[in-house]
Amino acid sequence: MSDHPRLIRRPEWTALEDHRAGALLHPDLREMFDRDPERAERYTVRVGDLLVDYSKNLINDETLALLQELATATDVFGLRDAMFHGERINITEDRAVLHTALRAPRNAVIEVDGENVVPQVHAVLDKMTAFADRVRSGEWTGHTGKRIRNVVNIGIGGSDLGPAMAYEALRAYSDRSLTFRFVSNVDGADLHEAVRDLDPAETLFIVASKTFTTIETITNATSARTWLLKGLDGDEKAVAKHFVALSTNAGKVAEFGIDPDNMFEFWDWVGGRYSYDSAIGLSLMIAIGPERFREMLDGFHLVDEHFRTAPAEANAPLILGLLGIWYGNFFGAQSHAVLPYSHYLSKFTAYLQQLDMESNGKSVDRDGHPVEWQTGPVVWGTPGTNGQHAYYQLLHQGTKVIPADLIGFANPVDELSDELKAQHDLLMANLFAQGQALAFGKTAAEVRAEGVPEAQVPHRTFRGNHPTTTILAAELTPSVLGQLIALYEHKVFVQGAVWNIDSFDQWGVELGKVLAKRVEPALTEGAHVPGLDASTTALVAAYRTLRKK
Ligand code: F6P
């Protein structure tokens, strides 16, 4: 148990409260920019290929200094170093947290319990590379000798969102002669829609599950096997050519009937939501090829090194993490919007939801005491321009404080036609315009000057001062994607460290899993489930009445 004062009683915390109630009671971005012509440049940090402009946040130099003092007092960098050194900082599961080892170069040395894990990481990457090359070249064929044309990843949570998001993000780099689908939902409709137009003889299933016990994944994998065998005359031998597994649990993989030779391993020090750069990324590696996959890992590593070594005032994940704390704990912000201006990043926010909300959705601290401060925000958002015509109204004129990240690229992907490439400036003009409108709004005087009737002036006035951070890169390459993800991973880390919570467990997901297993017999057999509450009992009865026999 730590003997530090609790977070909100630390002098660094109360100094921030005083600052918010004093100098930053009514922050005004127009005024802040007017007073400081250097603000945009001073509040921009460059990391690898990413430019992070945080100047449109409700902060000044003192805010940043106070936030950094809070980070120092809460020993964010001490915990960071412990993570990078393989210490068991996931205390409730007694595990090291070493997703950073997954992207370390071959010659790095990172030890867990005295053993260098980097050679294992690279051995699996080599095995993945050999397999991906065989599938991509057509050398790995299905049971009937046909070439594999379709790859279906079956997994959920971290075993789905990462590869699905990254495949979408890097589609332009993918082998277009192959089809990739991602099945996660235990709703049979998901698998049905994924395979209904596929030829089993040309289909490879990748069963991705860290534990290999997750009911949704095992159920879908079992149904996929039935579908495959039905299409291949029931020959059980087909499974070996059409099923591979990504897991930490060799025993369960073998029990399922997948040859352990066709299993790609990872380790308990890789959290599910931090795993798509492990074997869990096999579908992505098949899609974009091992070289591009390595470029992505190098992008992650670049930001790992930045986070590990950059001084506080230039440390992008630290700054982003502290800004989130500033809004969540001192402005009452409940949510954080992530708004990519890239169609390819359509699954990016969904991915970040798990990363952030499963990591920092906690209400006891590392010592097991209830927290008296807000922790992780609700993360939400969709690609930018679509959002503009849906929920941006609330961002501009609603009553809530919603900090947002605007993410965009200077170039469209190469593959687009010239005509479609020409649309890119319009896309990005929207990003810049939104950042500007959110920050600086439109005053009543400006509205009046346009000749707007007085009765409409309040409706057409924008108060502005809605904080945004803009992240810009030249283009969405594999490396840039890795950089972006690592940036958010470490941002989430920083916040968990300050809040003194365990960002690496997810006990909250367990209760629902256990209860679903208990309730299922009541639905299927009408079994009496002891301890079921009155509302659920009535709902189950109604379900059984409505259910077709
Ligand atoms: O959603 C809870 C969770 O435990 C996630 O953390 C994990 O990514 C997901 O389930 C899937 O777990 P597994 O990879 O073991 O099937």
Query: pLDDT digits over 145-199, tens only?
Result: 999 999 999 999 999 999 999 999 999 999 999 999 999 999 999 999 999 999 9
Q: Is 258 helix (H, G, I), strand (E, B) or coil?
A: coil
pLDDT at 549: 75
231-248 pLDDT, tens digit each: 999 999 999 999 999 999
513 catalytically annotated: yes
Which residue has 């980070």 as its token pair?
Answer: 71
Q: For ligand 1, what atom is nearest to the CA of residue 159?
A: 14
pLDDT at 66: 98
382-399 pLDDT, tens digit each: 998 999 999 999 999 999
Alpha helices of 95-246 — where are they, by DSSP H?
118-137, 161-169, 188-195, 215-231, 239-242
Q: For ligand 1, what atom is nearest to the CA of residue 506?
A: 6
For the chain, the average pLDDT equals 96
399 sits in the region (left: phi over 0; alpha: psi -120 to 50; else beta) called alpha
Q: What angle do CA 501, 492, 119 make, to 5 degrees?
A: 100
Provide the residue count of the chain: 549
Choose, from 389, 459, 528, 549, the residue flagged as catalytic.
389
Which residue has 């332009």 as its token pair?
Answer: 172
Q: Which of 287, 312, 284 is nearest to 297 (CA)?
A: 284
What distance in angstroms lies between residue 158's CA and the mean position of ligand 1's atoms? 6
323-377 pLDDT, tens digit each: 999 999 999 999 999 999 999 999 999 999 999 999 999 999 999 999 999 999 9
* Residue 548 binned pLDDT confidence (cut-offs 50, 70, 90): confident
Supply 40's token pair.
């945009």
pTM over 0.80: yes
With beta carbons less than 8 A apart as the criterion, state whether 508 and 515 touch: no
Lowest-pLDDT choice from 95-99, 254-258, 271-275, 402-406? 254-258
Distance (Å, whole) CA 245 – CA 154: 9
Binding site membership of 156 for ligand 1 (Cβ less than 6 Å): yes
Read off the DSSP letter of residue 400: S
What average pLDDT score do residues 134-139 get? 98
**Pairing, β 111-112 against β 115-116:** antiparallel
pLDDT beyond 90 at 4:
no
Binding site membership of 210 for ligand 1 (Cβ less than 6 Å): yes
Which residue has 């402005």 as its token pair?
Answer: 331
Q: Candidates 184, 185, 211, 513: which one to mutate for ligand 1, based on the most atoms within 8 Å of Cβ?
A: 211
Read off the DSSP letter of residue 234: T
What average pLDDT score do residues 3-22 get? 92
Q: For ligand 1, what atom is nearest to the CA of residue 358?
A: 6
450-496 pLDDT, tens digit each: 999 999 999 999 999 999 999 999 999 999 999 999 999 999 999 99
Q: Whose CA is nearest to atom 16 of ligand 1?
A: 209
pLDDT at 2: 54
**Cα 140 to chain centroid, rounded:** 32
Give the residue with greater pLDDT, 346 vs 511: 346
Q: Candidates 506, 510, 513: which one to mutate for ligand 1, based on the most atoms within 8 Å of Cβ?
A: 506
With beta carbons less than 8 A apart as the criterion, state whether 390 and 454 touch: no
Q: What angle do CA 186, 192, 198 make, to 5 degrees?
A: 135
Instruction: Flag whether the ipTM exceeds 0.90.
Output: yes
pLDDT at 1: 47
Q: Candidates 210, 276, 282: which one to mutate for ligand 1, based on the most atoms within 8 Å of Cβ?
A: 210
Distance (Å, whole) CA 542 – CA 549: 13
* Residue 445 binned pLDDT confidence (cut-offs 50, 70, 90): very high
Distance (Å, whole) CA 117 – CA 84: 12
* Residue 117 binned pLDDT confidence (cut-offs 50, 70, 90): very high
What distance in angstroms lies between residue 350's CA and the mean position of ligand 1's atoms? 15
Binding site membership of 443 for ligand 1 (Cβ less than 6 Å): no
- Quote the percentage of the chain above a pLDDT of 70: 99
